[in-house]
Amino acid sequence: MESFSAGYVHGKVTHKNAIDIRFDCFVILYLIKGNGSFVDHKGIEHQLIPGSLALRHPGKKTTLRRDNPEEWVEFAMRFPASLYSAMVKTEMINSDLTTAEIPLRDMQEKVDSFYDFLKNHSVRSGAPETLLKAQELIVDFYTKAAQNNSTEKTSSFTEKACRLLEENLESKISLEKIARKTGMTYETFRKRFKEELNDSPMDYRIKARISKARHLLAEPDMRLKEIASILGYPDVSDFSRQFKKFTGLSPQKYKKQVK
Give residue limits of the domains in the chain: 5-162, 169-259
Secondary structure percentages of the chain, helix, strand, coil, to 5: 50, 20, 30
At 150 the pLDDT is 56
Per-residue pLDDT 10s for the chain (259 aa) are 468 899 999 988 888 899 999 999 999 999 999 999 999 998 999 999 999 999 999 999 999 999 999 999 999 999 999 999 999 998 888 888 999 989 898 899 999 999 988 887 655 555 788 888 999 999 999 988 887 765 555 557 888 888 899 988 888 889 999 998 888 889 999 999 998 888 999 999 999 999 899 989 988 888 999 999 999 999 999 999 999 999 999 999 998 876 6
- Measure CA of the first residue to CA of the last residue in the chain; give whole Å: 78
- How far is it, in rounded angstroms, from Cα 23 to Cα 4? 13
Cα→Cα distances 225→113, 140, 144, 209, Å: 62, 57, 52, 15
Task: Let me know: does 96 contact 102? Beta carbons within 8 Å.
Answer: no
- How far is it, in rounded angstroms, from Cα 42 to Cα 84? 19
In this structure, what DSSP letter does residue 44 have?
-
- How far is it, in rounded angstroms, from Cα 174 to Cα 155? 23
Q: Tell me the three-class secondary structure of 198-235, residue by residue.
A: CCCHHHHHHHHHHHHHHHHHCCCCCCHHHHHHHCCCCC
At 130 the pLDDT is 87
CATH class of 169-259: mainly alpha
Residue 54 phi, psi (nearest 5): -120, 130
For the domain 5-162, what is the CATH code? Answer: 2.60.120.10
